[in-house]
C-alpha cells in the first residue's frame, strides 16, 4: 500500500524545513568573510577537523534532498493526473501563482546549481587549483585558504552572474515552498494565510540577500580582494615574475 497524498505532503514539508534550516546556517557561515581571512579560514578548519562527522552531515543533507525531490515529483505527478480528471469534468481551477506552477522546474534548476556549487567550492572540479590554496600559520602549520578561494572566484564576473541568476531561482522556489510548508502543517486559516503571504517573501528575501552579499561584496570591494588572488598586488608581482622567467621572493616565499 502506497503512502497517502497527505503523508507525502508532510514528508516534503519536513525535509524542506530541515533543508531551509541548513541554508540559514550556511549563509551565516558565509558572512564570516566580512570578518576577514582568519575568521572564515578558522571556521573552515573547524569544519574540516570534524572529519567523518562532516561527511556524515553532507550525506545526510543529500539524503534529505533526495527524499524531498522524490516525493515532490510524486506529488506533482498526482496533481497533474487529478488536474486532467477535473478538466474532463468541466472543473475550473483556481488561479495559481507562477511560483507554484513552476516548483518542479525551479527545483531542478536549484539541483543543477547545487551540483555546480559543490563542483566549484567543495570538490574543486571546475577549478582544481582551489584545492591547493593554503594559508601558512604559526609553527609551520597550514590550512585551506577559503578566503582566497572565494575572493578569487567572485572576482570573475561570469561566476558572479551564475550565482545571481541561481539565487533568483532559489528565491522563487523558496517563496512558495516555505509558504506551502506552513500550510501543510495546518496553518491555513485566513489569519495565518495573510501572515504567510507577508512574512515569507521577507524571510526568504533576507536569506537570499545574505547569500548574494558575498559575491556582490567581493565585486564592490567590501570584502577585500586577497593579495594572492587575480588582481591582487602579490598576484600581479608573481605573474610578472613568472612571465619574465626569473626568481624573486614575495612575502617571504621564493617564486620561480
Return the pLDDT at 94. Answer: 54
225: phi > 0 → left, psi -120 to 50 → alpha, else beta; which? beta
Q: In the predicted model, is pLDDT for residue 234 greater than 70?
A: no
* Residue 245 scores a pLDDT above 50: yes
Q: Give the pLDDT score at 159.
A: 96
Domain ranges for the chain = 5-245
pLDDT digits (tens, 9 = 90+) for 180-223: 777 776 666 666 777 777 888 899 999 999 999 999 999 999 99
**Rounded Cα distance, 180 and 100, in Å:** 9
What is the rounded CA–CA span in Å between residue 122 and residue 131?
A: 8
Query: Quick check: helix, strand or coil at residue 134?
Result: strand
Quote the pLDDT of residue 2. 76
Confidence class for position 141, pLDDT limits 50, 70, 90: confident
Assigned CATH topology for domain 5-245 = 3 helical TM bundles of succinate and fumarate reductases (1.20.1300)
CB within 8 Å of 222: residues ≥ 6 apart = 34, 216
Is pLDDT larger for residue 251 or for residue 147?
Answer: 147
Which carries the bigger pLDDT value, residue 251 or residue 69? 69
Residue 81 CA to residue 85 CA, distance in Å, equals 6
**Of the listed ranges 51-55, 63-67, 145-149, 224-228, the one predicted with least confidence:** 224-228
Q: For the chain, give me the number of helices (H) and strands (E)?
A: 9, 4
Report d(CA 23, CA 17) in Å as an integer. 10
pLDDT at 90 over 60: no
Higher pLDDT, 171 or 249: 171
Amino acid at each position: 500500500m502506497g503512502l497517502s497524498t497527505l503523508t507525502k505532503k508532510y514528508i516534503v514539508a519536513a525535509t524542506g524545513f530541515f533543508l531551509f534550516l541548513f541554508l540559514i546556517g550556511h549563509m551565516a557561515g558565509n558572512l564570516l568573510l566580512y570578518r576577514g581571512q582568519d575568521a572564515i579560514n578558522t571556521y573552515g578548519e573547524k569544519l574540516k577537523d570534524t572529519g567523518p562527522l562532516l561527511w556524515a552531515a553532507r550525506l545526510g543533507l543529500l539524503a534529505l534532498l533526495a527524499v524531498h525531490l522524490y516525493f515532490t515529483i510524486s506529488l506533482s505527478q498526482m496533481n497533474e493526473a487529478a488536474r486532467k480528471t477535473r478538466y474532463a469534468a468541466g472543473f475550473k481551477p483556481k488561479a495559481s501563482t507562477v511560483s507554484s506552477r513552476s516548483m518542479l522546474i525551479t527545483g531542478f534548476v536549484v539541483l543543477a546549481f547545487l551540483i555546480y556549487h559543490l563542483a566549484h567550492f567543495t570538490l574543486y572540479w571546475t577549478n582544481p587549483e582551489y584545492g591547493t590554496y593554503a594559508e601558512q600559520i604559526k609553527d609551520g602549520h597550514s590550512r585551506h585558504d577559503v578566503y582566497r578561494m572565494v575572493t578569487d572566484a567572485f572576482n570573475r564576473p561570469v561566476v558572479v552572474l551564475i550565482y545571481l541568476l541561481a539565487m533568483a531561482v532559489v528565491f522563487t522556489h523558496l517563496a512558495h515552498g516555505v509558504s506551502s510548508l506552513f500550510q501543510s502543517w495546518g496553518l491555513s486559516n485566513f489569519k495565518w494565510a495573510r501572515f504567510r503571504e507577508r512574512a515569507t517573501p521577507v524571510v526568504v528575501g533576507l536569506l537570499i540577500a545574505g547569500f548574494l552579499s558575498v559575491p556582490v561584496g567581493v565585486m564592490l570591494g567590501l570584502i577585500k580582494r586577497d593579495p594572492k588572488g587575480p588582481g591582487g598586488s602579490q598576484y600581479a608581482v608573481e605573474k610578472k615574475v613568472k612571465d619574465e622567467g626569473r626568481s624573486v621572493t614575495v612575502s617571504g616565499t621564493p617564486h620561480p
